[in-house]
Amino acid sequence: MPNTRSLSPVAARALADATPDVFWTDRAERPPARSQLTGAGHRADLVVVGGGYTGLWAAIQAKEDDPARDVVVLEAGRLGTGASGRNGGFVSPSLTHGLAQGLAQWPDEIETLERLGAENFAAIETALTAYGIDADFHLPGELTLALTDLQVPAVREAYELHRAHGVDVQLLDAATARERVASPMYRAGMFDPHVGLVDPARLVWGLARAAESLGVRLHEDTAVTGFETDGAGVRVRTEWGSVHAGRVVVGTNAYRGVLKRFSAWVLPVYDHVLMTEPLSPGQLAAIGWQGREGLTDAGNQFHYYRRTLDDRILFGGYDANYHFPGRIDADLEQSDASHGLLAEHFFRIFPQLDGLSFTHRWGGVIDTTSRFTPVFGTALGGRLAYAVGYTGLGVASTRFGARVALDLVDGRDTEVTRLEMVRRKPIPFPPEPIRSAAVRTTRASLAAEDRTGRRNLWLRALDRIGVGFDS
């Protein structure tokens, strides 16, 4: 039972019976677990570590490149239990965490990155059709909304930036924004028609079936415990056995696993989410939202929310939490404080939905980097490649990350491997306890900017050294 004593009566009632589980995977259609990999003596041309979006896209693309390639995917838990099965389902074509971030980090490559992002997005749509993956994919676009007067200039600046780079976004005043979605808090908005929405778990399950249809072998509940070079390949050790691989691709999100180097670049941050019961016809009429756009707001601490195809509302974000010293634990997925804060914010945005209940509450760990975009690289003399650090915008960009990792591990000199984004690592995070202090200072500074509209010395210093908070 959640602790709701400090909440308003409206929020407390709404949270009272919420199931502490992920809505997307808490369904009868969830497929049974695949077998574990047990015993020694297994062999494969390519072993993919991680059965989320990155790993499954890597397996699929590897087989598309070479149908004769023997590919094995090893997942430590169940498919979809990590970030790939518990996110908001926003599918953005951006590879750079947004246009502003891309311009700040890679101004000379931004046109190439935007083109590659659009091509990657189109390839996902093509793959969903080709493999018959029913993941509720649709393209309603995204509204970025100003919830305060201080956020209005940020929305206008984003609109002007996108228009200057040929993106056909629309600027909405308060009245027009509220005509689309009825909230007394909306002051302005920007509509981007190029963002899609998807059911995250159905996407994972569909990609897994597609991979198997190509001959990929999938093993769940098989945690990798180590790697060692073995002849021209790599011996991949697991809890229950081992497999000899010619090459290895690692896509493990925030989970460091056996590559400790990830801790320098990847910060595990917990994000929390609520899902409502289906809205009644009267409740739907009260909020409008006929376009089913994905919604977010223009603050540093921002919400993301969407109307599902069965007329629920997913509401998440805002209160991201880092736990010393980079702790990842299932116990951290439930937070009375964070879920309570989300419930309070939900009813401030939609006061007309008083009486609506939340059916599910969950959390998950995001693999953020200092520049908010992935880190790529190789290890074990080039026999292993990795792509991690998607910072919450990975539903689409994981396919691109998988492409990069495959090209790297195969030693290909391609357009994507030549990108500065791929060749240059993000600024590393400092060691503990400095890391925790820096996270607390940054978080407090971002919250202060949201309240005052002023960027303090700490944030300006991070801007100068290339840390990604200036978008």
CATH number at residue 376: 3.50.50.60
- Percentage, residues of the chain above pLDDT 90: 93
Do 273 and 217 lie in one domain? The reply is no
The two structure tokens encoding residue 248: 């290895």
Cα–Cα distance between 251 and 385 in angstroms, integer? 9
How far is residue 219 from each of residues 25, 32, 79, 90, 205, measured CA to CA in Å? 18, 12, 9, 27, 13
Q: What's the confidence (pLDDT) of residue 468? A: 65
Domain total for the chain?
A: 3
Do 301 and 185 lie in one domain? The reply is yes
Do 381 and 414 lie in one domain? The reply is yes
Place of tokens 């302005």: 188
Whether pLDDT at 470 is above 50: no
Q: What's the confidence (pLDDT) of residue 259? A: 85
Tell me the mean pLDDT in the region 50-67. 98
Which of 366, 381, 413 marks a domain boundary? 366
Tell me the mean pLDDT in the region 441-460. 94
Ordered alpha helix ranges (H), 133-233: 152-164, 174-180, 200-213
Whether 344 and 8 have beta carbons less than 8 Å apart is answered as yes
Do 118 and 204 lie in one domain? The reply is yes
Cα–Cα distance between 354 and 70 in angstroms, integer? 55
Q: What's the confidence (pLDDT) of residue 187? A: 98
Q: Is residue 290 part of a domain?
A: yes
Do 321 and 394 lie in one domain? The reply is no
Burial group, residue 35, by CB count within 10 angstroms (0-12, 13-18, 19+): exposed
Q: Is residue 23 part of a domain?
A: yes
Which of 334, 366, 398 marks a domain boundary? 366
Confidence category of residue 464, pLDDT binned at 50, 70, 90: confident
Q: What's the confidence (pLDDT) of residue 456? A: 95
Q: Is residue 411 part of a domain?
A: yes
Whether 181 and 202 have beta carbons less than 8 Å apart is answered as no
Q: Is residue 299 part of a domain?
A: yes
The two structure tokens encoding residue 440: 């607390």
Do 357 and 409 lie in one domain? The reply is no
Whether pLDDT at 469 is above 90: no
Confidence category of residue 212, pLDDT binned at 50, 70, 90: very high
Whether 31 and 205 have beta carbons less than 8 Å apart is answered as yes
Cα–Cα distance between 18 and 415 in angstroms, integer? 47
CB-based contacts of 259, cutoff 8 Å, min separation 6:
250, 252, 379, 386
Which pTM was predicted?
0.96
Tell me the mean pLDDT in the region 151-160. 97
Domain range for 439: 434-465
Going by their DSSP bridges, the two strands 217-219 and 71-74 should be labelled as parallel
| For residue 433, cis peptide bond before it (omega within 30 degrees of 0) | yes
Q: What's the confidence (pLDDT) of residue 258? A: 76
Q: What's the confidence (pLDDT) of residue 403? A: 98
Residue type, 453: G
Q: What's the confidence (pLDDT) of residue 463? A: 87
Cα–Cα distance between 116 and 417 in angstroms, integer? 12
Whether pLDDT at 100 is above 50: yes
Q: Partners of 145 in the beta sheet?
A: 189, 297
Whether 23 and 359 have beta carbons less than 8 Å apart is answered as yes
Do 319 and 355 lie in one domain? The reply is yes
Q: Is residue 32 part of a domain?
A: no
Confidence category of residue 254, pLDDT binned at 50, 70, 90: confident
Q: Is residue 320 part of a domain?
A: yes
Do 304 and 335 lie in one domain? The reply is yes
Do 335 and 355 lie in one domain? The reply is yes
Cα–Cα distance between 75 and 277 in angstroms, integer? 31
Do 242 and 353 lie in one domain? The reply is no
Residue type, 230: D
Q: Is residue 33 part of a domain?
A: no
Report which DSSP code applies to 149.
Answer: G
Cα–Cα distance between 261 and 259 in angstroms, integer? 5
Cα–Cα distance between 416 and 425 in angstroms, integer? 15
Do 16 and 103 lie in one domain? The reply is no
Q: Is residue 335 part of a domain?
A: yes
